[in-house]
Structures are given as structure tokens and as C-alpha cells.
A and B are shown apart, each in its own frame.
Chain A
Amino acid sequence: MREILTGNEAIARGAWEAGVRLASAYPGTPSTEILENLALYEDVYSEWAPNEKVAFEVGLGAAFAGARTLVAMKHVGVNVAADPLMTAAYTGVEGGLVLISADEPGQHSSQNEQDNRHYARFAKIPLLEPSDSQEAKDLVRSALELSEEYDTPVMLRTTTRLSHSKSVVELGERPPECDNPLTSIPRNTPKYTMLPGYSRIRHPLVEERVARLRSRADELGFNRLELRSRGLGIVASGVLYQHVREAFPEASVLKLGLTYPVGARLAQELREYVDRLYVVEELDPFIEEQLRLLGIEIDGGEHVLPRVGEFDAGLIARRLSADGAPGADALLATAPPTPVEGLPQRPPALCPGCSHRGIFTVLSKLRVFVSGDIGCYTLGALPPFEAMHSCIAMGAGIGMAHGMAKVVQPGQKLREKVVAVIGDSTFFHSGLTPLLNVAWNRSDAVIILLDNRTTAMTGGQQHPGTGSTLMGHETPNVDLPGLVRALGIERVTEVDAYDLAEVESTLRKELETAGPGVIITKGPCVLEYKVSAAPMTVDLEACDACKRCLKAGCIALTYEEEGQSAYVRIDEAQCNGCGVCAQLCNFGAIVETARTEA
């Protein structure tokens, strides 16, 4: 059967077909849909872990116990999981373990653009890169087989354009023997207990494994040499292979599926066959450096192509032709027409009815320093709120606020006080330890936990505070205030996220009190929980056009001018009836729809 699948759907399918027993992940664009799709297969145990490190460790445990295992995360997630990863490369596994790293050249939805292929080299584990959905599905099985044969975790790297592109895939089945029960955990202390004495014995094996893989790299069936024109040869992997085929249809191409370690044989053959040899890769010159170390002469790579952002066929055609590469597709090689300039941007915005809106309206008014974190609420940094002043990595905001509060004496100046803002999913991910630190080492930072009962930013995944799991089972729901108290925070206040007066007075009180305090704002995500109230409307008689309501930063509100008169209009189709704008209005001009109709 043939179906159109995204790369992520294909990875999930591949894991199912290849007999994966356990999959663990933490959501993150562009990896999230892998586990969401795997969870649809009941014969694979799939779960969201609170963070990527836990996900990797869960996977590693299952692999030690002999199960085929998949672990998935976005590129920055591997930073979180890096500690166990680096040493798992020493121990190896019993059942195959594939780590999916979903990278984001172009940073459509990420805080940085790091090239995770370096992790494969860093950890000295094999790296596979699929170039369409079919290969994504097939390479999951290959990765698991390679993992078992070479006794190592294997990294499978996708990029946004692979994870989110749909292409046609031939489906297979799951052999029933994959589900024979496992009944014991293999014991092998010197292999699995990394005391220095044992670890020292494993390290040379890791080096030897990389050398063995490199010498066999072109024999494993992942790399393919396509000989066409002698004028131009290109080495590429992943979705870039597809762009290259469009940009230079006649070029000879070495398509690499195994990008760490890169082999010498096919590259050497291509080098001898063509006049000019290019390496086309996004971000860092990862393949290029390996080829140069193998002594292959490259005519163009790093210095011809950008080192930031993502490529398409047009960019490759233009850059390489400008450097003298022959045979580019004529249409693609022409300079692209320039975009129309001066158009208003259309950035994402907090949804109408979003429970984060009221908090940022108040933070914006008080003008305190907001040490932020990552989630939908990071949009609080944008106008009209401009109420987030730093944001680095998930869970970083609390520790940073503590550091700031330790070195700055704000006196009575509200503006110089520090508030950390963190979402519930992010708090469970990596906010507990920094909050423990605040409680332990005592600072005056105020911490706001935005409890919207979901991981909204990535599309609404379950977390330890939602009372349910990825596979839809009910589970105990963490008592958030109790948890915070247990960490040693004495002052914990819960507030209604939509009540501006309550949010403001609680926050002011906390800012005036010495020592740590946590405010938990409560309001479920309107998208995830489909919350809506009757839309509000503007009483035009009462509206003074003062624009104060626009401080709510809501796309349902529009400021309109008609000749002499000006007013704010509410789009009823968009308004969610949350009432934040109504609380901002000094004239009582924003009212419930029902009241004007009556």
C-alpha cells in the first residue's frame, strides 16, 4: 500500500514495522509528530517524558533490557540528553537504540540553529540522514540493525524540511515475533557500569568501532554514487540531495545516507570522475571537513554556500553557477524576483482568550525585569507587551533570575526587580532544580508559573500536570503548589490568570516581600481545552478611542478611524470572551454581547 506521509509519520511507521517496543520523547518542533503518530500503534509502548534527558535514559534502559527502542527530540533537546548519550556510546546496547535528532536549519520555531551532526562525531556514534519519507521509514530499521550489529546507539538526523515534508511511502507490516515477551534483563557489569576502570576498557572499543565503520562506510548500502555528467560532481545528504537533483539535473552525485563516519572510496571515485567537486550542506561544513581529512580535494563548499539558514534548489543553482559550476536548471539559476517591500509583518500572536494575556498585560504595566523561558508565553517579549527581557533555553529563566537578584540591589525601584516567568511544561522539564536552588540559596526573585495545563507551544501535549499520558491513560496529576512547597518555597499563591486586579496585587505584594515567592496563574489553554465564552462587543457610544484595550495585544481588537470618529472594534468571530480587554477599559465600553442585544 502507498500513502503520503510526512517524514515524521514515516519514522513512526518505520519504528512500528521494525519492531520497536518502546519510544520516549519530549515534544519539540520539528520532532513532535513522531511520538504522536507512534502512540497510534498500540503494540508500541510510547510516552512523553518530562524532558529529553529522561526520554533518552528511558530508551537506554529499555535497550539494555533487550528491546528495540526509539528516542526522539528536537536539536536542542540533544543538549539536554547529552550527558547520558556520551557515555551510552561507550556501553553500547542489547536491543537497537535509535536517537532521532530533528534539526532546524532556518529556525522556524527554535532558539538557535545548531548543527547536531557534531553530536554524532562528538559521541562517536553512526549518523544516518534520510532524504525523503520513504528513506526515513527505511532508515529507522537500518539504524536499529546497525545499532545491534555495531553495539552502539545510532543517531538519525532529520531537518524541518524532511520531518514536515510529505511524500509517497510504501507501507510494510510488523512481524509478530517482534512482540515475543522479554523476561529478563541481561547482566554484564563491566559493559554497563561505567566505573573508570571499566569505562577505560570501553573507550578503545569505541575508537575501533568508528574506524571499522569508516572503512566499511561505502559498503553498508547507505551511500550511492550516481554518475552522470563529468563536468560537475556534488556530494549531498538529506533533503539537500533532492534540492541538488533539481538544481543540477545532469550533475554526478554522491548521495550520502551515512554522514558519520564518511567513507573515502566513493568520494575518491567521484573526485576522479568529475572536473569540479562541490559539497552541498546546510549549516556547518561537516561532510566537507571529513572529506578534506580523507584527502579528497573539494572545489567548492563552505566558501560558496551560506553557513546560516536553509537552502532550496534555487539558492544552490545560483550560488554554484556563480562559482562556475556548469549545468544549472535555467529557471532556478536566474536571480529570484525581489519580494514586495514594506508590507506589515504577520507575526504569531497569543490566541484570543489565551490565559497568558492578562499576566503579560500586568508585567508590561509594572515594567519589572522579566527573565523568561520558552513557550507560547515567549510572545510576551513582543509589542505591545515587551515584557520579557531574556530567554535562553528551557528552564533557564529561574536560575538566571536568581543570579540577577543576587547581584542587583533594586532598592524601591520596581523596574529593577526580577520576575521569572515559566510555563508548566517547561517547569516540569527543567524548572524544578533551579527553583530548588532559589529556595535553598534564598533570593528575592519572584517566580510566576503559568499553569495552562498543557504544552501549548508544540500543539498541546500531555505533561505530568495534565492527569493523562501520551497513550491516553489517566494518571495522577501533580499537585503543583504542593510540589513547590516541598522544594522549600514557603509563599505560594494561586491566582486566576484572567483577573487583572488579583494578578497585579499579588505580584506587587510578592515584589515588596523579601525572600522567594511563587505565584501560580491558573487558566487552561483555550485551544487545547476548547474554552470559549460569548464574544464581547464595544459600546461605540461609550468608547473613547483611548486605545488602552489594545494593550491586551489581542488580534480580535482593531482600532478603526472613519472620518472624524475613531473607535475600537471587536471581531466577534475571533473574540473568545475572556474579558481582559474589558478590564483595561476605563469607560466600561467593552461589554458582553448579550447585554447590548437585550
Chain B
Amino acid sequence: MTEKMQETATKTTNLLVAGVGGQGVITATHLLSQVALAEGYDVKQNDVVGMSQRGGSVVSHLRFGQEVASPLVSAGAADLLLSFEMLEALRYMHWLRPGGLLIYNLLRINPSTVAAGFAEYPGDVRERIEASWERTLPVDGNALAQQAGNPKTANVVLLGAVSVHLTFSEEAWLSVIEENVPPKTVEANHRAFALGRQAGKA
């Protein structure tokens, strides 16, 4: 059984969610917030939303607990970092506190600088992540989403993996997902969540 992030009922839990503009980072974090609220916690979330263009680095902060003051997770204080993309996992890794858990999607999205040939995407990105952080959990969100029957459910797969490491009830998760996804996709999203939970237990 994996160690849960919420060590005590009074401690505030710090999550950071990172990814690339257009991937749905903010929406996914909002689902997390909703679940925390449903479970009776005080919640604060902060996203940097600025330019509407695609492709930039995006990060969302989420804190929940008995009573939360600051909406920001300070660098070096995150209990859990969820990254939707491998390079972004490396970029925000220092946000984790010692012993924090890094869950990352096995997905590579080239920054515009790389696509245009000005910079190189580190070829050994996964090895670098594994070499520089102790507690890691890679998840193939996109493959599992395919398996769930809808490639757009990758974010819910990743949330499923995160859910294993938080104390929220499965019912709370399932009902928040149901309330927030298009009605036709509820079943696929529930399957995606279950696959994510399996992956999260690895």
C-alpha cells in the first residue's frame, strides 16, 4: 500500500500540476479542487492564465486542508507534482519537497523552439527524471485513454493515478467526474479513472 500524501488531518496538502497550454491542466486541477471541496476541505487553487495562445508552459497550484491561507505552493514544498508532459516534469521537479511524489505522463510535446530546430528536446528525458528524483510514477496516460475508449480521457487517467495517493473517497471522484465531463463520455471517463487507479498503485 502506498503512503498517502495527507499525513495528518490538519496539515495542508500541496499539489502542483504542470503541462502544456491546450492539454487541459487547469480543468484537471479544477476537478481535483471540486473533489477536495466535496470531501469537506478548505481549498485554494491558482492558475496562471494569460495569453490564450497554444503551446506555452502552464502550471496550476492546488492546496487543501483544514484551513488554507496562501493559494501558492512554494518551490520545494509540493507533496505531489503531477506533470502532463515529461519535459515539464523536469522543469518543475524542484517544486517537490524532499520525499514528495512525482507522477508524470509518458508524453513528449515539442516546444516551439525545438520544433523549429533552435533547441533540442533532451533525448534521455525519462532517464533524467528517474535519475534525479526518488519517488516517481510514470503513467502512459494516452495509451490508457485509448484503452478506455476515448483518447481525450488522458487527464482523467492521470487523476486516477493521483487519487491513489490522496485520501478522497472513490465515490467523490466518480461523482465529480460525472458532473464535469460531457454526458456521453461519462462511461469512458470512469473507465479511464479506473485504469489510472491501477496504474497509480504500481
Contacts of A345 in B (CB 8 A): 111, 113, 119
Chain B residues whose CB sits within 8 angstroms of the CB of A350 once the complex forms: 53
| Alpha-carbon gap, A332 to B70, bound state (A) | 12
Complex: chain B residue closest to A547, CB-CB: B117
Say which size band chain B's interface belongs to: 35 or more
Given A331-B76, A344-B87, A384-B116: A555 in contact with B54 (beta carbons within 8 A): yes
Task: Name the one of B42, B56, B74 contacting A346, with C-beta atoms under 8 angstroms.
Answer: B56
Q: Does A520 contact B (CB under 8 A)?
A: no
With A168-B42, A376-B51, A555-B54 as known contacts, state yes or no: A331 contacts B77, CB within 8 Å: yes
Is the CB of B50 closer than 8 A to any CB of chain A?
yes
Within B96-116, the residues touching A (CB, 8 Å) are: 97, 110-116
> In the complex, what residues of A have CB within 8 A of residue B37's CB?
2, 4, 168
Return A430 CB to nearest CB of chain B, in Å: 20
CB pair A383–B118 under 8 Å, yes or no, is yes
Q: What is the chain A residue whose CB lies nearest that of B74?
A: A314
Taking CB atoms, residues of chain B closer than 8 Å to A558 are: 110, 114-115
Instruction: Name the B residues within 8 Å of A335 (CB-CB).
Output: 76
Interface flag for B48 (CB, 8 Å): yes
Judge whether B70 and A246 touch: CB under 8 Å: yes
Q: Which residues of B contact A348 (CB under 8 A)?
A: 21, 51, 53-56
Closest-by-CB residue of B relative to A335 is B76
Per the 8 Å Cβ criterion, residues 297-339 of A in contact with B are 312-315, 317, 331-332, 334-339
Q: CA separation between A337 and B44, bound complex, in Å?
A: 24
B135 within 8 A of A: no
B113 near A343 with CB under 8 A, answer: no
Q: Contacts of B44 on A, CB cut-off 8 Å?
A: 132, 165-167
Task: For chain A, residues 276 to 302, give those with C-beta under 8 angstroms from any C-beta of chain B.
Answer: none
A346 touches B50 (CB 8 A): no
Which residues of the partner chain A approach B73 to less than 8 Å between Cβ atoms? 312
A460-B118 Cα distance, complex, nearest whole Å: 30
Q: A313-B72, A331-B76, A331-B97 given as contacts; is B118 within 8 A of A346 (CB)?
A: no
**In the docked arrangement, what's the CA distance between A238 and B115, Å?**
41
A384 and B52 CA atoms in complex are apart in Å by: 20
- Smallest Cβ distance from A377 to chain B, in angstroms? 10
Contact B55 A346 (CB under 8 A): yes
Interface residues as binary, B78-99 with A (CB distance below 8 Å gives 1, 0 otherwise) = 0000000001101101100100
Q: CA of A161 to CA of B49 in the docked complex: distance in angstroms?
A: 10
**CA–CA, A553 to B112, complex, Å?**
7
Shortest CB distance B73–A (Å)? 8
Taking the complex as formed, is A1 at the interface, i.e. its CB lies under 8 A from any CB of chain B? no
Interface string of A334-373 (1 = CB under 8 A from B): 1111111001111111111010000000000000000000
Query: Do B74 and A239 have beta carbons less than 8 Å apart?
Result: no
Q: Which residues of A are found within 8 Å of B51, using beta-carbon distances? A: 29, 109, 348, 376, 457
Cβ of A336 and Cβ of B94 under 8 Å apart?
yes
Chain A residues with CB under 8 A of B33: 4, 166
Q: Quick one: given A4-B34, A108-B50, A339-B91, are A243 and B115 in contact (CB under 8 Å)?
A: no
* B72 near A527: Cβ-Cβ < 8 Å: no
Which residue in chain B gives the minimum CB-CB distance to A352? B54
**Would you call B147 an interface residue if the criterion is a C-beta within 8 Å of the partner chain's C-beta atoms?**
no
- Nearest A residue (CB) for B67: A245
Across the interface, do B112 and A555 meet the contact criterion of CB distance under 8 Å? Answer: yes
Q: How far apart are the CA atoms of A459 and B94 in the complex, in Å? A: 31
Complex-state Cα separation, A331 to B128, whole angstroms: 26
Which residues does chain A contribute within 8 Å of B93, judged by CB atoms? 339-340
State whether B42 touches A456 (Cβ < 8 A): no
* Chain A residues with CB under 8 A of B90: 340, 343
Contact A160 B48 (CB under 8 A): yes
CB nearest to A160 among chain B residues? B48
| B97 pairs with A340, CB closer than 8 A | no
**Is A312 a contact partner of B115 (Cβ separation < 8 A)?**
no
Q: How far is the CA of A58 from the CA of B47 in the complex (A)?
A: 31
Given known contacts A343-B87, A547-B117, A559-B117, A337 and B75 CB-to-CB distance under 8 angstroms: yes
Beyond A167-B45, A344-B120, A456-B52, 20 additional pairs, beta carbon < 8 A: A109-B51, A164-B49, A166-B44, A166-B46, A239-B70, A242-B70, A243-B72, A337-B94, A343-B87, A343-B122, A346-B20, A346-B55, A346-B111, A349-B54, A349-B55, A383-B113, A460-B52, A555-B55, A556-B115, A559-B116
Closest 10 CB pairs of A and B: A109-B50, A314-B74, A348-B56, A344-B119, A165-B71, A349-B112, A245-B69, A336-B76, A336-B75, A346-B111
Which A residues have a C-beta under 8 Å from some C-beta of B?
2, 4, 29-30, 108-109, 132, 160-161, 164-168, 239, 241-243, 245-246, 312-315, 317, 331-332, 334-340, 343-352, 354, 376, 379, 383-384, 456-460, 527, 547, 550, 553-559
Query: 17 A–B contact pairs at CB < 8 A?
Result: A4-B37, A108-B48, A167-B68, A242-B70, A243-B70, A336-B76, A337-B75, A339-B91, A344-B113, A344-B114, A348-B21, A348-B55, A349-B112, A350-B53, A354-B53, A555-B111, A555-B112
B-side residues, CB < 8 A to A, are 20-21, 30, 33-34, 37, 42-57, 68-77, 87-88, 90-91, 93-94, 97, 110-122, 128, 132
